[in-house]
Structure 1
């Protein structure tokens, strides 16, 4: 489906600020625990600019935010919460996407940047132009199974600098599969378990400097792999354990890197975002359970723009919150 037109009437909700989740609140808004949110936008609904449980976010090099929710839509916003365009995935009756990433022009074999979509319950990765045109030749998967090129429930899909794709999946497989730029299967690793190198729901993937970061969500930890050693990467380290203390995790669902290479981790059940060193030492924490601005309810995703503004998908409050790193409470 091509992107749909947007009219001024669809943006009327953006002009009204409300106190509870789903509001658009500009400026710096103090909340109960002393944290701050620069901007909060979105509310529950099916019309343009609203959300029904947003569960994935990514950002392109123009600072445009792509957000998928349980309507099966992908909505694109600027960093101030203005809706730019949207479209829907081809099918959504069985379930909705849970992962998004950008393949840059430099990574793509045809030089065209793409939005990669983990079409979770249809066992595949979809690829779109950034304007919302489905590129059917770039679809990977579509068959449920555990063999090479088949998938259980797809969680995320990303590209490396060579244009190869890495696709995570959970349920009976709990593995990562690697494909070449044409979508041909190369390798796989992982499997269900709590030993290092195994996974229970590898929910989010990130590649930086030939290192693959994975949120091993139901093992409550982060795993890192060295991609420079060949088609099957080597485990670098595993950090984190179940809990709510700094440096511990309770269902880490997404992560991204700051310019200083520190990492932000969103925790679905701890209702917070942690800032940690690349080795897992906690630096700061933001968020607490609740509905007010600066509070979270089941967050799924996080992204950072070129101005170092942080965007958190506050999933069960059906909204997005924008914060600065200075809003994080330092860890002693």
Structure 2
């Protein structure tokens, strides 16, 4: 993991010198100036990627400029210190955890609603979350405590729903938990990195069902499966330190590997530490790259459609983003971690 992070930090320094967060004054819960942001976005995107031709066509930035940028560095309600994971519920409320261990809840416009804290934080803080709409609960990857926690939407801990808590590589044990996904039958898929680099599957009651993966560069292996998402019986996995995406058919008892795409690089269709993944209702896949500091939109088979973002602090630019979600209106919310904020934009029709 240390080596993984060193590579990313080196990439950030190569791309360009960043201002310290104390020098930044991003807009807070206000629409940005579209003309100004567009100019900055295009300048930044051109310097990062240039013009990349795809089958004779130029891939353009998708969704235009961000329509809303909100959040800033701080410890009070409505502010963040390096937010690391985000989930969304059926009412489009956003649940965001940062490196203080706080879970804050906002409406889709960035208005703060409530806050609570995970029970333990000395060993480390969560890096993944998902909202389980069928059971109306928030599931949290309590990474450094080897477990999945569950909360009510108002922050009440549900101890009976916890899975794990013991470090190990046996069934129901975990290394460092990364993320959780829930399928239409209520089964849970929990990723982990470290000694195991695998996915474990549990039934709706939390009973172990299956596991697959293992540390490695070969397909069907992982090096930090950081983000999991399910769409129409397909499990998508952001295999972060292998710089690729893998997908599995989960319609059968034993998950079936479908394929893998992506490689380390800066071109469209390449990845550099993909930390977040989401699927639009139309089936296209959105990948958030911690290292390349951009979001890409791709077909289910990995063909790049477009990209957005560039290193920096202005609206439309990103600084080590960790995740993203799509709401009911097809608006994409990007967790711009080291800018301590969220950016929102709308996908084209």
TM score, norm. by length of structure 2: 0.84
Aligned to 2:287: 265
- CA deviations on 1:236-283 (whole Å, 9 max, x unpaired) are 010011101001000000111112111110000000000111111111
- Is the deviation greater in 21-30 or in 112-121? 21-30
Query: Is the Cα–Cα contact under 8 Å of residues 28 and 39 in structure 1 kept in the other structure?
Result: no
* Cα RMSD (Å): 1.5
- CA deviations on 1:271-304 (whole Å, 9 max, x unpaired) are 0000111111111110000011110000001011
**How many angstroms apart in 1 are the aligned matches of 2:204 and 2:93?**
25
Query: Is the Cα–Cα contact under 8 Å of residues 42 and 50 in structure 1 kept in the other structure?
Result: yes
- CA deviations on 1:110-133 (whole Å, 9 max, x unpaired) are xx3111100000000001111111
**How many angstroms apart in 2 are the aligned matches of 1:22 and 1:219?**
35
Aligned to 1:313: 335
Aligned to 2:178: 155
Segments of 4+ moved more than 6 angstroms: none
Query: Is the Cα–Cα contact under 8 Å of residues 258 and 308 in structure 1 kept in the other structure?
Result: yes
- CA deviations on 1:116-153 (whole Å, 9 max, x unpaired) are 10000000000111111111000000011111111000
Give 1:229 shift: 2.3
- CA deviations on 1:177-210 (whole Å, 9 max, x unpaired) are 1111221111110000011100000001111111
Query: Is the Cα–Cα contact under 8 Å of residues 45 and 51 in structure 1 kept in the other structure?
Result: yes
Q: Which consecutive residues of structure 1, in runs of 5 or more, have no partner in the other structure?
A: 1-17, 106-111, 328-332
**How many angstroms apart in 1 are the aligned matches of 2:333 and 2:327?**
8
SS of the aligned residue for 1:316 comes to: helix
For these two proteins, the number of residue pairs brought into alignment is 303
Give 1:74 shift: 0.7
Query: Is the Cα–Cα contact under 8 Å of residues 77 and 84 in structure 1 kept in the other structure?
Result: yes
Query: Is the Cα–Cα contact under 8 Å of residues 25 and 72 in structure 2 kept in the other structure?
Result: no
Is 1:66 equivalent to 2:115 in the alignment?
no
1:235-314 aligned at under 5 Å gives the runs 235-314=257-336
**How many angstroms apart in 1 are the aligned matches of 2:184 and 2:111?**
31
1:124-163 aligned at under 5 Å gives the runs 124-163=147-186
Query: Is the Cα–Cα contact under 8 Å of residues 303 and 312 in structure 1 kept in the other structure?
Result: yes
**How many angstroms apart in 1 are the aligned matches of 2:308 and 2:148?**
32
Aligned to 2:30: 25
Aligned to 2:209: 186
**How many angstroms apart in 2 are the aligned matches of 1:264 and 1:233?**
22
**Larger fraction in helix:** 2
Give 1:22 shift: 6.2
